[in-house]
Structure 1
Amino acid sequence: MKLKNAVALITGSSSGIGAATARLFAEQGCHVVINYSRNEEGARAVAKDCEAFGVRTLVQQADVSDDTQCQTLVEATLAEFGRLDVLVNNAGTTKFCAHQDLDGLSKDDFLHLYAVNTVGPYQMTRAAEKALRQAGTAQVINMASIAGLAGVGSSIAYAASKGALLTMTKSLARVLGPEIRVNAICPGFVQGEWLEKGLGKEAYANLLAKTKAGAALNDAASPETVAQAVLGLVIGGDLVTGEALLVDGGSHLNASGVRR
């Protein structure tokens, strides 16, 4: 699939992996929809970066846990561009809670994480299905996590929500082909503000050092390297669907228990 003059909608793209993906797609000549939930300033900064590559952008607020807002986001995309070729379900959230602290998570915590991390991608895919099928050759990329594969990460609720997203990726791949390919990306530890804020600076620095030391490639993922993996699936995986690509520098080979 070629991205030049295509249209990609990337949820949660005002910062981090979503922002890096938007910039990389724009560099390929792809028009991009920058979605944010609260960070409008960040979203507009990302749009400006993308427009420097000569592409068009649309900045649109939406909370993916709200089905009506998902539908509105897709409708706004079609109103602006008239088509949709790629949907990247990147928006996500967590609650940091040590796995051994079973009292640290409530039912509401699980429901909130599932609403954003699992139900959100489902609602976005459902809202975009018709437009993606009309594109003829389209793709959905779900941003999962090593947490969903290994049961590690910021909390048990987070790992469970990402595990469910991986199962859903396979289900959607079965029913949306042949016009739409559906795959997942599973980052391990991702360097950046999201983890640093959640873990605290000292714990973040210690875990980053441990992750790099234990990785086969002696490095940890960044938003940019995860975005490269997204791009690779989009433009170089014409017969790949229903799969989960792990991006962790080989940390899993040493069972190091890294987290996204």
Structure 2
Amino acid sequence: MWQKILALNLLGPWRFVQAAEPLLRQSKNGNVIFIGALAGADVGGSSIPYAVSKAALHHMCKLLGGALGPEIRINTIAPGFIETRWTSGEDWGGLRGLVEQKAPLHRTGNPDEIAEMVRGLLRSTYVTGQTIVADGGLSLLP
């Protein structure tokens, strides 16, 4: 399971950047945005292999942000609980309720909000190597 998760969440993005780097550099405005996870930015709420893979992705983003500039910018968005077809079932009800109760915004997120962050990072030409957490403020809590 570890190898499958690391292959998908870490090695896949690494191989993508390796393959795309020449074209991204040629464009003079290359931009890569990874989708990380709150589980990789904070402890709790996920399996250890998944959380480790996302933490490694966040760190790789930081390292690549320093190595690939100025032609290529690279950032990560780390969503918290996002309402999707995978999180809409009863199995997720307890976690959904906890997020709605404890997060400062008292709600879960939706895919359109993450897409808007992607659009924002595409336009933000002075940001690279950063992981932006989008979790309704949940990670602010002790």
**1:202 aligns to 2:94 (yes or no):** no
Unaligned 5+ segments in structure 1 are 1-108, 256-260
Q: Which residue of 1 aligns with 2:132?
A: 245
**Aligned-residue offset at 1:152:** 2.4
Q: Out of 211, 216, 232, which is 2:99 matched to?
A: 211
Other-structure match for 2:51: 159
User: How far has the Cα of 1:194 moved from its partner?
Assistant: 2.0
- 2:115 matched to 1:227? yes
- Structure with higher RCO (Cα < 8 A, 6+ apart): 2
Inter-partner Cα distance in structure 2 for 1:205 and 1:186:
21
Alignment partners' CA distance in 2, 1:151 and 1:132: 34
**1:150 lines up with 2:37 in the alignment:** no
In the aligned structure 2, how far is the partner of 1:204 from the partner of 1:167? 28
Figure out how many residues of one structure are paired with residues of the other and give that number: 142
Greater percentage in helix: 2
Aligned partner of 2:25 in structure 1 is 133
Q: Which runs of 5+ in 2 are unaligned?
A: none
User: 1:252, CA displacement in angstroms?
Assistant: 1.4
For residue 245 of structure 1, report the CA deviation from its aligned partner.
0.3
Letter aligned with residue 150 of structure 1? D
What are the within-5 Å matches in structure 2 for residues 82-101 of structure 1?
A: none
Specify the SS of the correspondent of 2:45: coil
Alignment of 1:1-260 (within 5 A): 109-196=1-88, 201-235=89-123, 237-255=124-142
Q: Provide TM-score, normalisation by structure 1.
A: 0.53
C-alpha separation between the residues in 2 aligned to 1:153 and 1:142? Answer: 20
CA distance in 2, matches of 1:110, 1:193: 24
Amino acid at match of 1:170: K
Amino acid at match of 2:56: A
The structure with more radius of gyration:
1
Runs of 4+ in 1 over 4 A off after TM superposition: none
Task: Give me the whole-angstrom Cα distance separating, in 1, the residues matched to 2:25 and 2:38.
Answer: 29
Contact (CA 8 Å) 1:151, 1:160: kept in 2 or not?
A: no
TM-score by length of 2: 0.94
Three-state SS of the structure 1 residue aligned to 2:87 is helix
Q: Percent identity?
A: 39
